[in-house]
A and B are shown apart, each in its own frame.
Chain A
Amino acid sequence: MNQHNQEIYRTTPARTGKMLAIILGICIVGSVIFFSNWDYWISYQAPVVAKMAGESEHKLAPGVATGKHMEVTLNFIESSDFKTFAFNALPGEEGHNPTINANVGDEIVFNVANGGKSFHAFGVTKANEGVTGIVPTSAIKSASNPLKPGESGRSEFIPSEEGTYYYICTVPGHREQGMVGEVIVGSAQAVEAPKAAAPTGVHHDFSVNFIESSDFKTFAFNALPGEEGHNPEFKVKSGDEITFSVTNNGKSFHAFGIVSDPENFNSVLWNSAIAAASNPIKPGQGGSVTFIAGAPGTYYYICTVPGHALQGMKGSFIVE
């Protein structure tokens, strides 16, 4: 019945079983690798995006507060048919989308409340349309994590260059529906350039944790936007010795450094770096660094992994 040389076309159950076992093993190992790094696989944008942003938007240097301090109160309001949005008053009424006049170096503090029924968020940008190019310190919440009706927030904007800026609601579409006003910035008043002071001998210990929102879209230090302790602000005097201890409480890789421009993660100042994007701090690990604070000004402590500062991992580090 069975020819002798017909044997060749058959396999044995043992062989097939072993092959299945090997495949199963590979699948299990692969799953472990995949799920333990669940967020890493979709953690960064293609390099071309940064390139496009760099070309189309003029990189704004962060402002140094050398001028006067201004407080601006803004209120998100909506028309009753929800077709028109505005700040403070509807079109045609007094106080509608007030224009703010300032000079380079002025510290403009925005106190923004949501007086409407929808969700809103705030930011200042130089772009004359859309929601891109938001100056980091001027942001209050974001489109994906907005201010609910009745909530309010505070942010500041220190213009470093002359020109016209726009304060907007950063929820897509709201600017187009009317939530935009101008900030007209003139030249700086003459102020002498601050210099770094000699070491004062005063020592500060600060500690921050890298944390992430559960959908991995928002990153922060210590607490998420809106919560208590979110991206705490640190103030020291020029010449003080600072020790930063950081812990990675998130699931991604992070690194730390003090920079003058939060979007320029490569130029870390004063040897204040802990790890780096190419050799980052893994989840659960930590590190520390000690450095002397340099010239007075407003700086930022950020996560120096590309994109993380933009996703929210930055806070103010003010040297006086």
Chain B
Amino acid sequence: MGHHSNWPEWVYIGVVVALMVWVGGEAWNAERLVEHIPADAEVIKVTGQQWFWSFEHEDGTKEIGELHVKVGKAYKFEITSKDVNHSFNIHDYVVLLDAIPGRINTVWFAPKEVGEHAIQCREYCGLIHYNMRGKLIVEEADSSS
């Protein structure tokens, strides 16, 4: 086994490390921005239980299975569960956070367009996990609640 120069390996490792630092830095920055919840975000309490989602708006309105929000407003979800772990997910808006019993997790979003989107559960919770779905309905800002 002869000795050969190792410089190609060092260059390669240098490139990999630089790439990881770049990914890490960009991710850190993006997450920092994503996690900054606007002060005027309206709170919506989200409760997951086997096997449906229920929501409560700030003004006390309760909804089951469907969530109505308005375009252009920021909303903060306070998510918890009543029995086992679930995960509240609106995939189109990359809203994803676990619903853990005994704990409230917070995530926010601000829809920009009118439309309907799927709400799904993203943590195995048993028999009907696959059908623990709901609907997010984003409405025009001036329609009555």
* Contact partner, A177, options B49, B50, B51, B64, Cβ 8 Å: B64
A172 close to B49 (CB less than 8 A):
yes
B62 close to A176 (CB less than 8 A):
yes
The answer to the question of A226 belonging to the interface, with a C-beta cut-off of 8 Å to chain B, is: no
Query: In chain A between 159 and 203, which residues have their CB closer than 8 angstroms to a CB of chain B?
Result: 172-173, 176-177
Q: Considering the chains assembled together, what is the distance between the CA atoms of A130 and B82 in angstroms?
A: 10
Chain A residue, CB-CB nearest to B47: A176
Q: Which of the four size classes fits the interface of chain B? A: under 10
Residues of A within 8 A of B50 (CB): 172
Chain B residue, CB-CB nearest to A172: B52
Residues of B within 8 A of A130 (CB): 82
Q: Is the interface of A mostly helix, strand, loop or mixed?
A: loop
Q: Which of the four size classes fits the interface of chain A? A: under 10
Q: Considering the chains assembled together, what is the distance between the CA atoms of A71 and B134 in angstroms?
A: 38
Q: Considering the chains assembled together, what is the distance between the CA atoms of A112 and B65 in angstroms?
A: 26
The answer to the question of B106 belonging to the interface, with a C-beta cut-off of 8 Å to chain A, is: no
Residues of A within 8 A of B54 (CB): 173, 176
B51 close to A172 (CB less than 8 A):
yes
Q: Considering the chains assembled together, what is the distance between the CA atoms of A209 and B49 in angstroms?
A: 35
Chain A residue, CB-CB nearest to B54: A176
Query: In chain B between 50 and 84, which residues have their CB closer than 8 angstroms to a CB of chain A?
Result: 50-52, 54, 62, 64-65, 82
Give A120 Cβ to nearest chain B Cβ, in Å: 14
Q: Considering the chains assembled together, what is the distance between the CA atoms of A172 and B65 in angstroms?
A: 11
Give B107 Cβ to nearest chain A Cβ, in Å: 23
Contact indicator per residue, chain A 29-55, by CB within 8 Å of chain B (1) or not (0): 000000000000000000000000000
Residues of B within 8 A of A173 (CB): 52, 54, 64-65
Give B145 Cβ to nearest chain A Cβ, in Å: 13
Contact indicator per residue, chain B 80-120, by CB within 8 Å of chain A (1) or not (0): 00100000000000000000000000000000000000000
Contact indicator per residue, chain B 26-65, by CB within 8 Å of chain A (1) or not (0): 0000000000000000000000011110100000001011
Give B17 Cβ to nearest chain A Cβ, in Å: 42
Chain A residue, CB-CB nearest to B53: A173
Q: Considering the chains assembled together, what is the distance between the CA atoms of A176 and B45 in angstroms?
A: 15
Residues of A within 8 A of B51 (CB): 172
Q: Considering the chains assembled together, what is the distance between the CA atoms of A130 and B50 in angstroms?
A: 11
Q: Considering the chains assembled together, what is the distance between the CA atoms of A177 and B50 in angstroms?
A: 16
Residues of A within 8 A of B65 (CB): 173
Give A133 Cβ to nearest chain B Cβ, in Å: 14
Chain B residue, CB-CB nearest to A177: B64
Chain B residue, CB-CB nearest to A174: B64
Chain A residue, CB-CB nearest to B63: A83
Residues of B within 8 A of A176 (CB): 54, 62, 64
Chain B residue, CB-CB nearest to A131: B49
Q: Considering the chains assembled together, what is the distance between the CA atoms of A317 and B71 in angstroms?
A: 60
Q: Considering the chains assembled together, what is the distance between the CA atoms of A51 and B82 in angstroms?
A: 17
Give B136 Cβ to nearest chain A Cβ, in Å: 16
Give B99 Cβ to nearest chain A Cβ, in Å: 15
Q: Considering the chains assembled together, what is the distance between the CA atoms of A202 and B52 in angstroms?
A: 53
Q: Which 10 interchain pairs have the tightest Cβ spacing?
A: A173-B64, A173-B52, A176-B64, A177-B64, A172-B52, A176-B54, A176-B62, A173-B65, A173-B54, A172-B49
Residues of B within 8 A of A (CB): 49-52, 54, 62, 64-65, 82
10 other A-B residue contacts (CB within 8 Å) besides A173-B52, A176-B62, A176-B64 = A130-B82, A172-B49, A172-B50, A172-B51, A172-B52, A173-B54, A173-B64, A173-B65, A176-B54, A177-B64
A sample of 13 cross-chain residue pairs with beta-carbon separation below 8 angstroms, ordered by A number, consists of A130-B82, A172-B49, A172-B50, A172-B51, A172-B52, A173-B52, A173-B54, A173-B64, A173-B65, A176-B54, A176-B62, A176-B64, A177-B64
